[in-house]
Amino acid sequence: MTQELSYTSEVAKATAPVYDMLKDQFEEEYWETLAPYIYEINRLKKEKNAVILAHNYMTPDIFHGIADIVGDSLALARSASQTDADIIVQCGVHFMAETSKALCMDKKILIPDMKAGCSLAESITAKDVRLLREKHPNVPIITYVNSSAEVKAESDICCTSGNAVKIVNAMKEDTVLMIPDKYLAQYTQGHTDKKVLTWEGSCIVHERFTPEDIKQFRARYEGIQVLAHPECPPEVLAEADYTGSTQQMIEYVEGKKPSRVVLITECSMSDNIAAVHPEMELVRPCQMCPHMKRITLPKILEALQTEQPEVILDSEIAERSRIPIQKMLDLS
C-alpha cells in the first residue's frame, strides 16, 4: 500500500522528543523522511489496539520511536504472553513471531517481513531433532528459542541466552542436549557440572568476532569494558569482561555505567544505548544481522495497514511448541 506521508508541523512536534534523542545518529533531512512513518505507526497502533514488540537489535528509529515493549528474546516472549492487545507486531525475526503466536493463538501476529529468518533456526529441522532423540533417548533436549516452532515442538524445554545456565541446572539428568547453537552450549558447559551435548549451529553475526578484535579494542581504547553475547565463540568470550544476553548487557551498562564500552554483538544495540547515554563512549564494531535489518518503518506501517503478513501456526504445532516455551517461562 503506498501512502502519502509528509513532514507536517504536527509530525515534527509529536516526534521532536525522539529526534532529540537520536539527532546524533540521523541527519535532519533523513529524519524528516522517517518521522511521518513514526507518527502514522503510533497513531494506527492505538486505533487498532496493536502492540509493537521490538528486539534490542532493531534500529533506533524503531526501538525508540514506535516500540511499546523492547527487550531480549526472553523479555519479548514474556510480554507476548501477557499483552491484552488484539494485534502484536513483531519487530524481530520469524522465530520470535512464532513464539508469540504459540503463546497467544487468539491474537493476530504480524511480522513486517516474512523473510526475516535466522541462521540458527535454519540449522536444524524437526526431523533432525527426532533423530537426536533416537540417538540419546534419555537425554533432555533443551532448545534455544532461536529455532522454528516445529523444532520446539520436539523439545523438552526451551531456553534463551539469558537463562540457558539456569535451565540446564534445573534438569534432573546429568547429561543434556542443547540445540542448535554450539557456542551457547559451550558457554553453558563452562557454567554447569552437567555434560552438555550440542549441535553444529551458529549465528552468522556472532561467529564473525575474533579474540584479536577484542585485543585491538583494549590496545586502542584504554580502560574499555568488553561485553559479549554467549553466541560468540569461546575464545572471544574468554577475552570479555562480561557475557550476557542483549538485555543483560543493557542492565550491566545501566548498573556499572562504564565510561567506555564495546558490545560484541549486533550493531544496533550500541546505537540504542548511545541514544540514552550520550555521556558514554560506545565503540561500535558493526556486525549487522541481515535478517533483523529487513524490518523497517515503511514495512511496519504497511503491516499495520494491511494486517499482513500474518504468522499462522498449525494448531497442533502451536500446542506442542507452547509446552517447552511455557516450561521455560515458568522456570525463569
292 counts as binding ligand SF4 under rule CB under 6 A: yes
184 counts as binding ligand SF4 under rule CB under 6 A: no
Residue partners of 306: CB distance under 8 A and separation at least 6 = 1
Residue partners of 320: CB distance under 8 A and separation at least 6 = 152, 153, 154
Place of cell 561467529: 207
204 contact choice in ligand SF4, ligand 13P, none (CB below 5 to 8 Å, kind-dependent): ligand SF4
Place of cell 541514544: 275
Residue span binding ligand SF4 (CB under 6 A) among the ranges 32-40, 129-137, 186-194, 199-207: 199-207
Residue span binding ligand SF4 (CB under 6 A) among the ranges 128-136, 168-176, 189-197, 284-292: 284-292
Binders of ligand SF4 among 263-282, rule CB under 6 A?
A: 266
* Nearest-approach distance from CB 99 to ligand SF4, in angstroms: 13
- Give the integer Cα–Cα distance in Å for 169 and 173: 9
* Nearest-approach distance from CB 118 to ligand SF4, in angstroms: 3
Q: Is the dihedral of CA 269, 272, 275, 276 positive or negative?
A: negative
Closer CB to ligand 13P, residue 160 or residue 321? 160
72 counts as binding ligand SF4 under rule CB under 6 A: no
Selected from 15, 59, 90, 119, the binder of ligand SF4 by CB under 6 A is 119
155 contact choice in ligand 13P, ligand SF4, none (CB below 5 to 8 Å, kind-dependent): none
Torsion angle defined by CA atoms of residues 35, 36, 41 and 44, in that order, rounded to the nearest 10 degrees:
150
Residue 299 in grid coordinates: 514495512
- Give the integer Cα–Cα distance in Å for 60 and 71: 13
Buried residues in 217-253 as b, exposed as e (16+ CB within 10 A): beeeeeebbbbbbbbbbeebbebbbbbbbbbbbbebb
CB-CB contact of 215 with 240 (8 Å): no
- Give the integer Cα–Cα distance in Å for 173 and 192: 12
Selected from 289, 301, 304, 325, the binder of ligand SF4 by CB under 6 A is 289
160 contact choice in ligand 13P, ligand SF4, none (CB below 5 to 8 Å, kind-dependent): ligand 13P
Residue partners of 219: CB distance under 8 A and separation at least 6 = none
145 counts as binding ligand SF4 under rule CB under 6 A: no
Site residues for ligand 13P per CB under 6 A: 56, 72-74, 118, 146, 160-162, 203, 231, 245-246
Amino acid identity, position 245 = S
* Nearest-approach distance from CB 121 to ligand 13P, in angstroms: 9
Selected from 38, 110, 168, 203, the binder of ligand SF4 by CB under 6 A is 203
With residue 189 as reference, give the H or E element that holds it: helix 182-189
Closer CB to ligand 13P, residue 11 or residue 295? 295
291 contact choice in ligand SF4, ligand 13P, none (CB below 5 to 8 Å, kind-dependent): ligand SF4
Closer CB to ligand SF4, residue 85 or residue 289? 289
Selected from 146, 160, 188, 246, the binder of ligand SF4 by CB under 6 A is 146
Contact residues for ligand SF4, defined by CB under 6 A: 93, 118-120, 146, 203-205, 231, 266, 289, 291-292
